[in-house]
Amino acid sequence: MYRLLWMGACALALLTGSASDLRAASYGNFVGNTVTFVDVADVNGLYGSPIVSGDSLDFNPNTFETDCADSGSCPPTPTEAADQLTLQVDADAGYFIERIQLTEAGDTTLTSFVDAFAVTTVVGDVFVDVLEIDGNPANNINGNALMVFTSDGDFRSDEDGYGTHIWEGELLVNIDQMIADAGETGKATLVSLSIANTLTALGEAGASARIQKKDIDGLAITVIPEPGTALLMGLGLVGLAGCGRRTMH
């Protein structure tokens, strides 16, 4: 019965929850080895400014969390922390975007002195849109998927026990397959991403629940590029020329 109340309360929180001190943030562009992350921004400023390493964009948030003990309305209403990150991935000349790997991590703590019920959840909703194929505008090549989390992103004191639990999430987006499934041919050169994360926490009287995205490995967006055909042919010709010179000597 309490689980049904939790689900209903979560739905209410998702519809009505807000935080007046949250502010949208625009972090700008970040240049990787073979791609550029363009117009990186979020709605509530919880992800924080990222750092770029190779073709990976890493976010290390330190305020993306929610704690039932911080709210006078919990219970019966869960507390919530939610944010939406948006960006575009632009491939350098001679490269294509083959796949994008999303990973994130955090922890949750459930406590109680009277064996009261506590629960937290994490959700990652990802939207992908292929904007260009081979440098030309593309239309209606998009997809939506949920990240896969430890324990399905749901932690309950009556199932997982009290204490601190580490959670991780991941999603591999196959851009080549998206293009093929849309009946198109070619390789992606510009892709947009939207990542919506929602953390919720609820505890009965006598219990507390807290969940956060960690300040390390909070979210990593790693692009797996593919060299262009022209570049590969050029490298092959250089290799053949080198072999010819070695044979003559």
Amino acid identity for residue 215 in this structure: D
Q: Check whether 12 has a pLDDT greater than 50.
A: no
Q: In this predicted structure, what is the pLDDT of residue 3?
A: 42
DSSP H or E stretch at residue 16: helix 2-16
Q: Check whether 44 has a pLDDT greater than 80.
A: yes
| Digit-coded pLDDT (tens) for 146-203 | 999 999 999 999 999 999 999 999 999 999 999 999 999 999 999 999 999 999 999 9
235 CB contacts (<8 Å, ≥6 apart)?
A: none
Which residues does residue 111 pair with via DSSP β-bridges, in sequence order?
Answer: 208
CA torsion sign for 155, 157, 161, 164 is positive
Q: Check whether 248 has a pLDDT greater than 80.
A: no
Tell me how far apart the alpha carbons of residues 49 and 146 are, in angstroms, rounded to a whole number: 24
Indicate the pLDDT class of residue 229, thresholds 50, 70 and 90: low
- Token pair for residue 188? 């992606």
Q: β-strand 95-112 against 51-53: which pairing, if any?
A: unpaired
Residue 118, SS3 per DSSP:
strand
Query: Percentage of the chain surpassing pLDDT 70?
Result: 83
Q: Is 125 exposed, middle or buried (0-12, 13-18, 19+ CB in 10 A)?
A: middle
176 CB contacts (<8 Å, ≥6 apart)?
A: 98, 99, 187, 188
Amino acid identity for residue 34 in this structure: T
DSSP H or E stretch at residue 139: none
Residue 126, SS3 per DSSP:
strand
- Token pair for residue 175? 């851009």
CA dist list (Å): 145 to 41, 63, 113, 177:
20, 25, 38, 14
CA dist list (Å): 219 to 51, 89, 165, 172, 216:
11, 16, 18, 13, 8
Mean pLDDT, rounded, for 215-240: 68
Q: In this predicted structure, what is the pLDDT of residue 174?
A: 97
